[in-house]
Protein backbone atom coordinates (compact mmCIF):
# COMPACT_ATOMS: atom_id res chain seq x y z
CA UNK A 1 0.00 0.00 0.00
CA UNK A 2 1.25 3.49 -0.74
CA UNK A 3 1.22 6.35 1.69
CA UNK A 4 0.21 9.91 0.99
CA UNK A 5 2.35 12.72 2.35
CA UNK A 6 2.06 16.43 1.79
CA UNK A 7 5.65 17.47 1.14
CA UNK A 8 6.87 19.91 -1.53
CA UNK A 9 7.62 18.45 -4.96
CA UNK A 10 10.92 19.43 -6.54
CA UNK A 11 9.70 19.95 -10.09
CA UNK A 12 6.42 20.13 -12.00
CA UNK A 13 7.15 20.58 -15.66
CA UNK A 14 3.71 19.46 -16.82
CA UNK A 15 0.72 21.39 -15.52
CA UNK A 16 -0.05 22.72 -12.08
CA UNK A 17 0.64 20.46 -9.09
CA UNK A 18 -2.24 18.96 -7.21
CA UNK A 19 -3.32 20.77 -4.05
CA UNK A 20 -4.28 19.23 -0.75
CA UNK A 21 -7.50 20.46 0.80
CA UNK A 22 -6.73 22.69 3.76
CA UNK A 23 -3.18 23.34 2.59
CA UNK A 24 -3.38 25.41 -0.61
CA UNK A 25 0.35 25.91 -0.96
CA UNK A 26 1.39 22.26 -0.63
CA UNK A 27 1.55 20.09 -3.79
CA UNK A 28 0.56 16.46 -3.30
CA UNK A 29 3.37 13.92 -3.24
CA UNK A 30 2.75 10.18 -3.48
CA UNK A 31 5.45 7.91 -2.13
CA UNK A 32 6.01 4.19 -2.48
CA UNK A 33 7.31 1.79 0.12
CA UNK A 34 9.07 3.36 3.11
CA UNK A 35 9.08 6.85 1.58
CA UNK A 36 10.77 5.78 -1.68
CA UNK A 37 9.56 7.13 -5.04
CA UNK A 38 6.47 5.53 -6.49
CA UNK A 39 7.60 2.48 -8.50
CA UNK A 40 5.80 2.37 -11.86
CA UNK A 41 5.84 -0.37 -14.53
CA UNK A 42 4.82 0.22 -18.17
CA UNK A 43 3.17 -2.28 -20.54
CA UNK A 44 2.95 -1.08 -24.16
CA UNK A 45 4.11 -2.76 -27.37
CA UNK A 46 5.60 0.45 -28.84
CA UNK A 47 9.09 1.14 -27.49
CA UNK A 48 9.00 4.79 -28.60
CA UNK A 49 5.71 5.34 -26.77
CA UNK A 50 7.10 3.71 -23.62
CA UNK A 51 10.17 5.92 -23.81
CA UNK A 52 7.95 9.01 -24.07
CA UNK A 53 5.88 8.42 -21.00
CA UNK A 54 8.83 6.99 -19.06
CA UNK A 55 10.49 10.38 -19.59
CA UNK A 56 7.28 12.18 -18.62
CA UNK A 57 6.82 10.27 -15.37
CA UNK A 58 10.47 10.42 -14.36
CA UNK A 59 10.42 14.23 -14.58
CA UNK A 60 8.36 13.91 -11.39
CA UNK A 61 10.63 13.68 -8.35
CA UNK A 62 8.35 11.19 -6.60
CA UNK A 63 8.14 8.63 -9.45
CA UNK A 64 10.48 6.03 -10.91
CA UNK A 65 9.81 3.67 -13.83
CA UNK A 66 11.22 0.30 -12.75
CA UNK A 67 10.05 -2.09 -15.50
CA UNK A 68 8.79 -2.15 -19.10
CA UNK A 69 6.93 -4.90 -20.97
CA UNK A 70 6.25 -5.14 -24.70
CA UNK A 71 3.40 -7.66 -24.58
CA UNK A 72 0.81 -9.07 -22.19
CA UNK A 73 2.46 -12.46 -21.71
CA UNK A 74 5.83 -11.04 -20.64
CA UNK A 75 4.07 -8.63 -18.26
CA UNK A 76 2.03 -11.43 -16.72
CA UNK A 77 5.08 -13.67 -16.34
CA UNK A 78 7.13 -10.95 -14.64
CA UNK A 79 4.35 -9.71 -12.37
CA UNK A 80 2.84 -13.06 -11.39
CA UNK A 81 5.71 -15.54 -11.64
CA UNK A 82 8.78 -13.38 -11.26
CA UNK A 83 8.92 -12.76 -7.53
CA UNK A 84 7.18 -12.19 -4.24
CA UNK A 85 4.44 -9.65 -3.65
CA UNK A 86 6.84 -7.18 -1.99
CA UNK A 87 8.90 -7.07 -5.20
CA UNK A 88 5.98 -5.79 -7.29
CA UNK A 89 5.91 -2.26 -8.66
CA UNK A 90 3.48 0.05 -6.91
CA UNK A 91 1.42 0.54 -10.08
CA UNK A 92 1.17 -0.72 -13.66
CA UNK A 93 0.35 1.60 -16.59
CA UNK A 94 -1.26 -0.69 -19.18
CA UNK A 95 -2.01 -0.30 -22.89
CA UNK A 96 -4.91 -2.40 -24.22
CA UNK A 97 -3.72 -3.03 -27.80
CA UNK A 98 -0.76 -5.41 -27.70
CA UNK A 99 0.25 -8.50 -29.70
CA UNK A 100 -0.99 -11.85 -28.42
CA UNK A 101 -3.27 -11.60 -25.41
CA UNK A 102 -5.00 -8.26 -25.13
CA UNK A 103 -4.37 -5.79 -22.36
CA UNK A 104 -7.95 -6.37 -21.20
CA UNK A 105 -7.27 -10.08 -20.77
CA UNK A 106 -4.06 -9.26 -18.88
CA UNK A 107 -6.01 -6.90 -16.63
CA UNK A 108 -8.49 -9.65 -15.73
CA UNK A 109 -5.71 -12.12 -14.97
CA UNK A 110 -3.77 -9.63 -12.85
CA UNK A 111 -6.91 -8.79 -10.87
CA UNK A 112 -7.19 -12.47 -9.95
CA UNK A 113 -3.50 -13.13 -9.27
CA UNK A 114 -2.28 -9.75 -8.00
CA UNK A 115 -5.32 -7.85 -6.70
CA UNK A 116 -3.05 -5.61 -4.61
CA UNK A 117 -1.44 -4.14 -7.77
CA UNK A 118 -3.28 -1.04 -9.10
CA UNK A 119 -3.57 -1.03 -12.90
CA UNK A 120 -4.07 2.23 -14.77
CA UNK A 121 -5.26 1.74 -18.35
CA UNK A 122 -3.61 4.14 -20.83
CA UNK A 123 -5.06 3.61 -24.29
CA UNK A 124 -6.10 5.03 -27.63
CA UNK A 125 -9.61 3.57 -27.16
CA UNK A 126 -12.16 6.25 -26.36
CA UNK A 127 -15.42 4.34 -25.90
CA UNK A 128 -17.69 4.13 -22.88
CA UNK A 129 -18.02 0.39 -23.45
CA UNK A 130 -14.25 -0.15 -23.24
CA UNK A 131 -14.14 2.00 -20.11
CA UNK A 132 -16.94 -0.06 -18.56
CA UNK A 133 -15.24 -3.36 -19.40
CA UNK A 134 -11.94 -2.21 -17.90
CA UNK A 135 -13.52 -0.95 -14.69
CA UNK A 136 -15.49 -4.19 -14.36
CA UNK A 137 -12.24 -6.11 -14.87
CA UNK A 138 -10.61 -4.26 -11.97
CA UNK A 139 -8.82 -1.25 -13.47
CA UNK A 140 -7.92 1.52 -11.02
CA UNK A 141 -8.35 4.12 -13.76
CA UNK A 142 -8.64 4.82 -17.47
CA UNK A 143 -6.78 7.55 -19.39
CA UNK A 144 -6.88 8.10 -23.15
CA UNK A 145 -3.67 8.77 -25.08
CA UNK A 146 -5.18 11.94 -26.50
CA UNK A 147 -5.12 13.42 -22.98
CA UNK A 148 -2.70 16.16 -21.94
CA UNK A 149 0.53 14.92 -20.30
CA UNK A 150 -0.41 16.24 -16.87
CA UNK A 151 -3.59 14.14 -16.95
CA UNK A 152 -1.53 10.93 -17.00
CA UNK A 153 0.70 12.15 -14.17
CA UNK A 154 -2.33 13.09 -12.09
CA UNK A 155 -4.02 9.74 -12.83
CA UNK A 156 -0.94 7.77 -11.74
CA UNK A 157 -0.99 9.54 -8.39
CA UNK A 158 -4.73 9.10 -7.94
CA UNK A 159 -4.66 5.39 -8.82
CA UNK A 160 -1.72 4.82 -6.46
CA UNK A 161 -3.75 6.43 -3.65
CA UNK A 162 -6.62 4.03 -4.28
CA UNK A 163 -8.84 6.55 -6.07
CA UNK A 164 -10.60 5.93 -9.37
CA UNK A 165 -8.72 7.94 -12.01
CA UNK A 166 -10.49 8.88 -15.26
CA UNK A 167 -9.32 11.32 -17.89
CA UNK A 168 -11.77 14.23 -18.36
CA UNK A 169 -12.96 13.01 -21.76
CA UNK A 170 -13.86 9.57 -20.39
CA UNK A 171 -15.53 11.05 -17.33
CA UNK A 172 -17.71 13.19 -19.60
CA UNK A 173 -18.46 10.21 -21.85
CA UNK A 174 -19.42 8.10 -18.86
CA UNK A 175 -21.85 10.77 -17.67
CA UNK A 176 -23.32 11.24 -21.15
CA UNK A 177 -23.76 7.50 -21.62
CA UNK A 178 -26.33 7.31 -18.84
CA UNK A 179 -28.48 4.26 -18.32
CA UNK A 180 -29.11 1.60 -20.92
CA UNK A 181 -26.37 2.05 -23.45
CA UNK A 182 -25.71 0.63 -26.93
CA UNK A 183 -25.99 -3.09 -27.83
CA UNK A 184 -22.33 -3.86 -27.15
CA UNK A 185 -22.87 -2.88 -23.50
CA UNK A 186 -24.79 -6.16 -23.14
CA UNK A 187 -21.82 -8.32 -24.17
CA UNK A 188 -20.07 -10.46 -21.57
CA UNK A 189 -16.43 -9.75 -20.76
CA UNK A 190 -15.26 -12.63 -22.96
CA UNK A 191 -17.54 -11.60 -25.83
CA UNK A 192 -16.30 -8.02 -25.64
CA UNK A 193 -12.68 -9.15 -25.68
CA UNK A 194 -13.29 -11.27 -28.77
CA UNK A 195 -15.16 -8.37 -30.40
CA UNK A 196 -12.15 -6.06 -29.94
CA UNK A 197 -9.85 -8.69 -31.48
CA UNK A 198 -12.20 -9.16 -34.45
CA UNK A 199 -12.26 -5.40 -34.95
CA UNK A 200 -8.44 -5.39 -34.84
CA UNK A 201 -8.46 -7.70 -37.88
CA UNK A 202 -7.71 -11.02 -36.20
CA UNK A 203 -9.25 -14.17 -37.64
CA UNK A 204 -11.25 -16.72 -35.66
CA UNK A 205 -8.29 -19.12 -35.84
CA UNK A 206 -5.87 -16.49 -34.52
CA UNK A 207 -8.19 -15.54 -31.66
CA UNK A 208 -8.64 -19.19 -30.72
CA UNK A 209 -4.87 -19.66 -30.58
CA UNK A 210 -4.34 -16.51 -28.52
CA UNK A 211 -7.08 -17.31 -25.98
CA UNK A 212 -6.36 -21.06 -26.00
CA UNK A 213 -9.92 -21.86 -27.02
CA UNK A 214 -11.21 -24.14 -29.76
CA UNK A 215 -11.98 -22.61 -33.15
CA UNK A 216 -15.58 -23.78 -32.78
CA UNK A 217 -15.94 -21.99 -29.43
CA UNK A 218 -14.65 -18.71 -30.86
CA UNK A 219 -16.89 -19.09 -33.92
CA UNK A 220 -19.89 -19.54 -31.59
CA UNK A 221 -18.87 -16.41 -29.69
CA UNK A 222 -18.63 -14.52 -32.98
CA UNK A 223 -22.16 -15.61 -33.91
CA UNK A 224 -23.57 -14.45 -30.55
CA UNK A 225 -21.72 -11.14 -30.82
CA UNK A 226 -23.18 -10.43 -34.25
CA UNK A 227 -26.66 -11.35 -33.05
CA UNK A 228 -26.36 -9.03 -30.04
CA UNK A 229 -25.10 -6.15 -32.20
CA UNK A 230 -27.66 -6.75 -34.94
CA UNK A 231 -25.07 -7.20 -37.70
CA UNK A 232 -24.67 -10.03 -40.21
CA UNK A 233 -21.45 -9.58 -42.16
CA UNK A 234 -17.86 -8.77 -41.23
CA UNK A 235 -18.19 -5.45 -43.05
CA UNK A 236 -21.21 -4.49 -40.93
CA UNK A 237 -19.31 -5.49 -37.80
CA UNK A 238 -16.40 -3.23 -38.74
CA UNK A 239 -18.79 -0.37 -39.50
CA UNK A 240 -20.43 -0.85 -36.09
CA UNK A 241 -17.01 -0.72 -34.42
CA UNK A 242 -16.08 2.55 -36.14
CA UNK A 243 -19.44 4.16 -35.39
CA UNK A 244 -19.14 3.36 -31.68
CA UNK A 245 -15.46 4.18 -31.21
CA UNK A 246 -14.44 0.55 -30.65
CA UNK A 247 -11.93 0.40 -33.52
CA UNK A 248 -8.52 1.99 -33.30
CA UNK A 249 -7.16 4.32 -35.97
- Could you give the residue ranges of the DSSP H alpha helices within the chain? 47-58, 72-81, 103-113, 128-137, 149-160, 168-177, 189-199, 204-211, 215-229, 234-243
What do you get for the CA distance between the two ends of the chain, in Å?
37
Residue 202: Cβ-neighbour burial (10 angstroms; 0-12, 13-18, 19+): middle
DSSP state letter for 39: E
Which residues, 6 or more positions from 79, have their beta carbon under 8 angstroms from its beta carbon?
41, 88, 89, 92, 110, 113, 114, 117
- This prediction's pTM: 0.65
**What does the pLDDT read at residue 19?**
29
CA distances from 175 to 46, 145, 169, 171 (A): 31, 20, 10, 6
CA pair distance 91, 28, nearest whole angstrom = 17
Return the percent helix, strand and coil in the chain, to nearest 5. 50, 15, 35
Identify the three-state secondary structure at position 217. Answer: helix
CA pair distance 204, 208, nearest whole angstrom = 6
CA pair distance 96, 99, nearest whole angstrom = 10
Give per-residue pLDDT as tens, 57-73.
999 999 999 999 999 99
Identify the three-state secondary structure at position 82. Answer: coil
CA pair distance 131, 151, nearest whole angstrom = 16
Tens place of pLDDT per residue across the chain (249 aa): 444 333 333 333 223 333 222 333 333 445 555 568 899 999 999 999 999 999 999 999 999 999 999 999 999 999 988 655 557 899 999 999 888 888 999 999 999 899 889 999 999 888 888 888 898 888 999 999 999 999 999 999 989 988 888 998 888 877 666 545 678 877 877 888 899 889 988 999 999 988 888 898 899 889 889 988 888 899 999 999 888 888 755
**What does the pLDDT read at residue 99?**
82
Amino acid sequence: MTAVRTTPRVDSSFGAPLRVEGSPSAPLRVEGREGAPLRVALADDHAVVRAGYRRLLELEADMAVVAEYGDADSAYSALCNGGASHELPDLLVLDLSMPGRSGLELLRRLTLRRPELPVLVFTMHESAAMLDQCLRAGAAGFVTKSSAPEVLVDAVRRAARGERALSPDMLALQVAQGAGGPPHARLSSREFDILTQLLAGQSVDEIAQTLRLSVKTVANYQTRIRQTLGVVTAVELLRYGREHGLSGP
